[in-house]
């Protein structure tokens, strides 16, 4: 099995980090320190890991970050009050509220409370609207932006291609479709969004020149669902039992990688594919927020 068709997300993320670090250095030369505020509510173990990784990357690139951890009993009003303070703080250029939030807090209300100019996650309704309209002045959600960047930097042409996206979520599926359907460079694709109510999912998948799996079902995409030579982007993160690992579990994507890789034209590994790009785009978005705020 050749590794020649692998899209190396870690290597491409490092290219992007080098570009972002240069932009941060340019801001610092003007006396501007880009700042990113993380907010976590409760003790979700995955959220701790994700924020920790993002903090380390920020420090490595020269971006200042702060993390506020609130107890799980925090009310929605208290969280909104904190966001109002961060919105008003000129040294904070980007704000990231780590999902999931406790059940008693309405995520949509929280995401809409972050100032659009500091919404480096791209979840504010104004930024969602700008993405739909093809307005490049907004912020694009980090994971679909990362997938798009992987396609561009891997030399994958999207113009006129059949793209099938598995999953219609607000974080990946819908924004991914909006990015690739635009009348713009590195877009212009014919996009089909497949979901839990779609008929004959496999038939849709087999049409795809580019297949983007973002449904959260472990190893759902099998070899017989993939057209030979198709580009396969695996966004899924699923924990499954594994008797051979110390923890008793392992992380797998939404694609049955071992069987799909031999027939794919290009494919992202998982881990090491889309994940590093999500963090890279967050750093890039925060740097851009600082650039825009201090023009």
Cα dist from 258 to 10, 143, 194, 262, whole Å: 19, 23, 23, 8
Q: Is 130 marked active-site?
A: no
Cβ(64)–Cβ(58) below 8 Å: yes
Given the residues 98, 130, 182, 266, the one annotated as active site: 98
List the structure tokens of 14. 């490092």
Q: Is 31 left (phi over 0), alpha (psi -120 to 50) or beta?
A: left
Nearest to 198 by CA among 166, 174, 236: 166
Q: Is 98 marked active-site?
A: yes
**CA–centroid distance for 226 within its chain:** 23
**CA–centroid distance for 222 within its chain:** 23
* Torsion angle of the four alpha carbons 236, 251, 102, 284, in this order, in degrees rounded to the nearest 10: -60
Given the residues 119, 121, 209, 254, the one annotated as active site: 121
Q: Is 222 marked active-site?
A: no
Given the residues 54, 118, 130, 227, the one annotated as active site: 54
Query: Which residues form the catalytic set?
Result: 54, 98, 121
């Amino acid at each position: 099995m050749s590794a020649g068709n692998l899209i190396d997300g870690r290597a491409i993320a490092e290219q992007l980090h080098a570009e972002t670090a240069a932009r941060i250095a340019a801001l610092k030369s003007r006396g501007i320190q880009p700042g990113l505020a993380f907010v976590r509510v409760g003790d979700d173990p995955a959220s701790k890991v994700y924020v920790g990784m993002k903090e380390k990357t920020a420090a490595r690139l020269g971006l200042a970050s702060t993390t506020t951890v609130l107890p799980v009993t925090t009310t929605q009003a208290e969280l909104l009050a904190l966001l109002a303070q961060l919105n008003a703080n000129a040294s904070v250029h980007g704000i990231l509220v780590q999902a999931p939030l406790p059940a008693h807090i309405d995520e949509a209300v929280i995401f809409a409370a972050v100032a659009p100019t500091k919404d480096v996650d791209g979840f504010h309704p104004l930024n969602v609207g700008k993405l739909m309209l093809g307005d490049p002045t907004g912020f694009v959600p980090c994971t679909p932006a990362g997938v798009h960047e992987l396609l561009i930097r891997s030399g994958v042409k999207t113009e006129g291609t059949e793209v099938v996206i598995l999953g219609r979520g607000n974080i990946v599926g819908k924004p991914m479709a909006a990015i690739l359907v635009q009348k713009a460079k590195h877009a212009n694709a014919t996009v089909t969004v497949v979901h839990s109510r779609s008929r004959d999912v496999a038939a849709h998948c087999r049409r795809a020149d580019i297949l983007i799996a973002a449904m959260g079902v472990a190893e759902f995409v099998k070899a017989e669902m993939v057209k030979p030579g198709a580009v396969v982007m695996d966004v899924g993160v699923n924990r499954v039992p594994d008797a051979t690992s110390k923890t008793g579990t392992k992380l797998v994507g939404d694609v049955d990688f071992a069987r799909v890789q031999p027939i794919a034209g290009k494919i992202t590994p998982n881990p090491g594919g889309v994940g590093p790009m999500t963090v890279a785009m967050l750093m890039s978005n925060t740097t851009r927020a600082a650039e825009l705020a201090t023009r």
